[in-house]
């Protein structure tokens, strides 16, 4: 190891912490179509769904093969700043039991771990497991959106409205306010997705947007529940999905927000309101617009009509709560045409949570392979340009960059990588120094980004610079705190 001291006064330092430290609570709000933090800086949630607590397992799936900490670490290292965590009301009841959790072996992502697999979850109730997962996210700086996916386990397909014979609207609201109060001091929980995919038609007794019958008026129910949550915990975002049918026009379950154009949700604090459509390709259902002669050019108009008018008209912030893909070749390439267009048109400017981490999603598969460990790399590669920094990252402190051959060179940390922009490859070197100025790593730059995990750095604070052969440095300066 080269322990010489870096002495380049013209070089700006890039500081980052590789340690997992607790973060301040994320108190987010909406201004126009933009999600903002307490400092008035625009942010986006760019995350992944990890389902299971809404099923008969009553705990996140995959814990039969993985350790919960390893799963969260991998989510962070993949670059996702948020997890949408589905749950069901039944898991809150006395006597609810989690199952299919493995307590033996070593997590493949934590090979050097000295603790037993999932030992913290032994004997815990589903609610206590949720507590542990949420606290783990807080330690890693991952935001959490709680998603009330169903009232009864494995029953969301049958629940057209937000209540059942076992779980009344009053109980549904009480369950939400219970969780809002329980996590009032959480450094991870940012929002409450009130009900997953309200659906059905007027003739079937399904959820409607507005109308005189309060038994089926989803918009009014969302207002009642949202206001109750804000009374219990005013820091939370209230995430409201659409319905299936508005008037004579149907769309994806939860994706039809046409009713909000003239009849928007009104909360006690509308700066906490986030609208959340779901959007899928023909793998889930071959909608008519996928067969249009102008496809995929017709999609932005389809989306604007259904939900994107909210963003385009500055009427609120969008969180694309679910979207996913299994195969790039399915439907003669129409699936990847839909996915690519969605990413380029919307996913760089709205919040989103990809469906899903789990490989056992019947429609889409997941971001992990069937071994629950190996990433599906092409999915990650397509998502990464749309990812936003972790919410704990402080804003860039602007500093005049050094010019070389008329090109501005920039260096940043995002999505778990050191990213270079505008530097010649392989002319330059990445130099990493400890806080006291001692060089701990020097390597030639051969790619435009380097994963932090690949550097094998111990926890601590480091200075990062780009050097050429003559020792001339080029970078900007800012701080990332996790």
Residue 296, preceding bond cis, omega within 30 degrees?
A: yes
Tokens of residue 461, six digits: 């604070």
Helices 218-232 and 169-182: angle between axes, nearest 10 degrees: 30
Residue in 197, 241, 283, 335 annotated catalytic = 197
**For 276, phi and psi rounded to 5 degrees?**
-140, 95
C-alpha neighbours within 13 Å on the C-beta side of residue 315: 19
The answer to whether residues 53 and 91 touch, using CB atoms and an 8 Å cutoff, is yes
Bridge partners of 317, per DSSP, are 274
Strand 82-88 and strand 143-150: pairing?
Answer: parallel
Bridge partners of 86, per DSSP, are 147
Whether 427 sits among the annotated catalytic residues: the reply is: no
Tokens of residue 441, six digits: 């790593």
What is the CA 131 to chain-centroid distance, rounded? 18
Work out the end-to-end distance of the chain between its first and last CA atoms, rounded to an integer number of angstroms.
Answer: 27
Tokens of residue 29, six digits: 């709000």
What string of DSSP letters covers 9-62? TTPPPEEEE-S---------EEETTEEE-TTS-EE--EEEE---BTSTT-S-TT
Residue in 54, 279, 283, 322 annotated catalytic = 322
Whether 322 sits among the annotated catalytic residues: the reply is: yes
Residues annotated as catalytic are 197, 322
């Amino acid at each position: 190891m080269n322990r010489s001291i870096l002495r380049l006064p013209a070089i700006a330092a890039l500081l980052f912490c590789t340690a997992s430290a607790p973060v301040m609570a994320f108190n987010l709000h909406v201004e126009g179509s933009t999600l903002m933090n307490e400092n008035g800086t625009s942010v986006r949630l760019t995350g992944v769904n990890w389902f299971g607590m809404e099923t008969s397992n009553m705990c996140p799936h995959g814990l039969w093969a993985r350790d919960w900490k390893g799963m969260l670490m991998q989510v962070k290292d993949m670059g996702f700043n948020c997890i949408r965590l589905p749950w069901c009301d039944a898991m809150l009841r006395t006597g609810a039991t989690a199952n299919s959790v493995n307590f033996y072996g070593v997590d493949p992502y934590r090979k050097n771990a000295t603790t037993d697999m999932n030992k913290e979850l032994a004997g815990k109730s589903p609610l206590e497991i949720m507590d542990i997962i949420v606290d783990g996210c807080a330690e890693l700086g991952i935001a959490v959106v709680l998603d009330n996916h169903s009232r009864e386990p494995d029953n969301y397909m049958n629940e057209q409205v937000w209540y059942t014979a076992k779980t009344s609207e009053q109980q549904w609201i009480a369950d939400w306010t219970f969780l809002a109060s329980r996590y009032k001091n959480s450094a991870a929980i940012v929002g409450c997705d009130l009900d997953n995919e309200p659906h059905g038609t007027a003739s079937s007794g399904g959820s409607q947007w507005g109308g005189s019958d309060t038994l089926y008026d989803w918009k009014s129910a969302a207002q009642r529940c949202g206001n109750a949550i804000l009374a219990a915990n005013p820091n939370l975002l209230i995430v409201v999905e659409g319905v299936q049918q508005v008037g004579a026009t149907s769309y994806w379950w939860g994706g039809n927000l046409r009713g909000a154009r003239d009849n928007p949700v009104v909360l006690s604090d509308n700066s906490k309101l986030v609208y959340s459509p779901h959007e899928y390709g023909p793998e889930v259902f071959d909608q008519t617009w996928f067969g249009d002669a102008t496809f995929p050019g017709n999609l932005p108009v389809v989306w604007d009509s259904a939900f994107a008018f909210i963003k385009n008209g500055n009427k609120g912030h969008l969180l694309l709560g679910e979207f996913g893909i299994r195969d790039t070749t399915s439907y003669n390439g129409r699936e990847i045409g839909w996915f690519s267009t969605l990413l380029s048109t919307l996913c760089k400017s709205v919040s989103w949570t990809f469906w899903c981490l789990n490989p056992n999603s019947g429609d889409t598969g997941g971001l992990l392979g069937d071994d629950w460990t190996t990433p599906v790399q092409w999915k990650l590669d397509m998502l990464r340009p749309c990812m936003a920094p972790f919410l704990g990252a402080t804003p860039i402190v602007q500093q005049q960059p050094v010019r070389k051959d008329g090109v501005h060179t920039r260096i940043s940390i995002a999505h778990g990588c050191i990213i270079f922009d505008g530097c010649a490859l392989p002319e330059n070197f990445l130099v990493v120094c400890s806080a006291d100025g001692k060089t701990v790593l020097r390597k030639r730059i051969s790619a435009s980004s380097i994963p932090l995990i690949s550097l094998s750095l111990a926890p601590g604070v480091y200075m990062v610079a780009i050097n050429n052969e003559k020792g001339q440095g080029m970078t900007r300066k800012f701080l990332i705190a996790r």
